[in-house]
Amino acid sequence: MLTKFTPWRNTSFSSLPLPLEIATKLYVDSTSIKTASSDFGKLFQETPFAVFYPSTVSDIVHLVKSSYTSSSPFKIAARGHGHSIDGQAMAKDGVVVEMTSLSGGIKVSWSDYLGFYADVGGEQLWIDVLRTTLDHGLAPVSWTDYLYLTIGGTLSNAGISGQTFLHGPQISNVHELDVITGKGDFMTCSKNMNSELFYGVLGGLGQFGIITRARIVLDKAPTRVKWVRMIYEDFDIFTKDQEHLISINHGLNYVEGSIIMKKSPANNWRSSFFSILDEEKVNSLASTCGVVYCLEVVKYYDEFSVQPINEELDDIFKDLSFKTGFIFKKDVSYVDFLNRVRIEELKLQCKGLWDVPHPWLNLFVPKSGILEFNQHVFVDIIQKEAKSSGPFLVYPMKRTRWDDRMSATIPDEDEDVFYTIGLLHSARNTEDGKIIDDQNKKILNVCAEIGIEIKQYLPRYYTTKEEWIKHFGAKWSLFEERKAKYDPKLILSPGQRIF
């Protein structure tokens, strides 16, 4: 049965014939609209016409088909956990699909061909994937630092963390996807089936379809981790050691790094790793030096294993050149390590400091430009201007772990190594947020002036089509072709502001 959904605000919807079961899942109440008009960034607002709460995947198929077949198609944005920075999951005057109202579940299986894998609803949070797979002694291999993000949200970008150098980003660890295209077609895709859609969607910023299921690679889960941080005074030596660590076989499971300076102390909302005394020691060195660099590594192990884990680590660390006396070790459960940011989030939430503006800048920097980046950005801008306490991340990854057929873009350079930078600012208020945003733009300009060919990760500062074309580089024409094929009416993920 068809019904006319009669909205109170937008006449373009009033003539839309929607099946009754779809119309009744569209909400225009102030709470739904307010949530869908805002995100983690707290910098940007865009009001949708309605919010859609699907119960099934076919509800979304009907919704997208209704838009696609309409003479005046409306925009549709899948919203995962809304942890974007400025409106990427919003749809001005369109419909926001609250993916988390689905319950696609998490199912662990095994096949001769794939080994262990999990079929996971696109709306699921990574923390729930972790908990469910651990019940089977298994876990995904590639993570983000924070686990309260959805499968669909991170696979639309890349999904990176300290494991990326070893396993590639999360998009490199997917066997298969179910996707609803911008025409409302439900398609299963993989490397061997509808492969163009598969590669397009992974890192595709939501432009080609809505992910409703992902088949994710699993491996045996460890139970514990050795978690170690080392301090460096010299950026060149710090990055050489990082690159050495990601080059050795059978070495570490996780390699990251960060910048510590007076205004950006050793403990921050990413984790309270250091004890009070150790933190004082590191912060005091940072005050003296102006800026120091913190290498962060992890080695997984099993509590019942006979493997001599400490000796193994000592063997790896003997080749490193961190400052003598500045190595700090912890031994924690695998879950506590992976879920480390949540612990800090809850503390900040109690103090009212989590729901504040987050003018983040995430970049991929070619290896050839990383030393200059340190001088011109970390030292000359971040340290001198001291506008926020960060945290500020810097760690290397390997090009060979990324699949160039996917939409995600990384720096164009022959070197296998490139760096990820995360300037994860929190601002006290909107005014501060704007000041930090201006600093981010200055950083982008400085990189352009000195010729560092960066790529924005979680891109948010492109305002023209030319900038997007430059961002995708050689991939742009394929990106455009895929858009014309899978979302010809430009319905999906308008908040990315590409088309």
**Which residues are known catalytic residues?**
83, 145, 256
**By C-beta, is 157 or 173 nearer to ligand FAD?**
157
Q: Quick one: which of 107, 127, 53, 102 has its CA closest to 211?
A: 102
104, 140, 153, 359: which one contacts ligand FAD (CB under 6 A)? 153
CA distances to 117, 176, 184, 347 from 191, rounded to whole Å, are: 16, 8, 22, 42
- Range in contact with ligand FAD (rule: CB under 6 A) among 74-82, 187-195, 232-240, 279-287: 74-82
216, 140 in Cβ contact below 8 A?
yes
- In the sheet that holds 26-27, the strands lie side by side as 26-27, 50-52, 95-98, 76-79
Let me know: does 136 contact 216? Beta carbons within 8 Å: no
Specify the stretch interacting with ligand FAD by CB under 6 A; choose among 158-166, 235-243, 406-414, 448-456: 158-166
Q: Rounded to the nearest whole angstrom, what is the least distance from the CB of residue 87 to ligand FAD in the complex?
A: 9
Contacts 24+ apart (CB under 8 A), 299-305: 299/225, 299/226, 299/228, 299/252, 299/253, 300/222, 300/224, 300/225, 300/253, 300/334, 301/222, 301/223, 301/224, 301/225, 301/226, 302/222, 302/223, 302/224, 303/223, 303/224, 304/223
Task: Supply the minimum distance, in Å, between the C-beta of residue 179 and ligand FAD.
Answer: 8
The crossing angle, in degrees rounded to 10, of helices 476-486 and 465-472 is 110
- Contact between 211 and ligand FAD (CB under 6 A)? yes
Using rule CB under 6 A, residue 402 touches ligand FAD: no
User: Residue 113 Cβ, how far from ligand FAD at the closest point, in Å?
Assistant: 26
**Residue span binding ligand FAD (CB under 6 A) among the ranges 56-64, 375-383, 475-483, 489-497:** 489-497
Q: Does 50 bind ligand FAD (CB under 6 A)?
A: no
Alpha helices in 365-464 (DSSP H): 370-373, 384-385, 430-450
| Residue among 267 and 283 whose Cβ is closer to ligand FAD | 267
Total residues contacting ligand FAD (rule CB under 6 A)? 36
- Give the CB-nearest residue to ligand FAD: 152
**In the range 102-141, which residues lie near ligand FAD by CB under 6 A?**
122
- The stretch near ligand FAD (CB under 6 A) out of 205-213, 220-228, 376-384, 482-490 is 205-213
3-class DSSP state for residue 218? Answer: strand
Binds ligand FAD by CB under 6 A, chosen from 25, 62, 65, 79: 79
Q: Which is nearer to ligand FAD, 152 or 251 (CB)?
A: 152
Task: Compute the distance between CA of residue 199 and CA of residue 389 in angstroms, rounded to an integer.
Answer: 37
Smallest distance from the beta carbon of 438 to ligand FAD, in angstroms? 21
The residues of the shown chain that bind ligand FAD, judged by CB under 6 A, are 39-40, 77-84, 88-89, 99, 122, 144-146, 149-150, 152-154, 156-161, 205-206, 210-211, 458, 493, 495-496
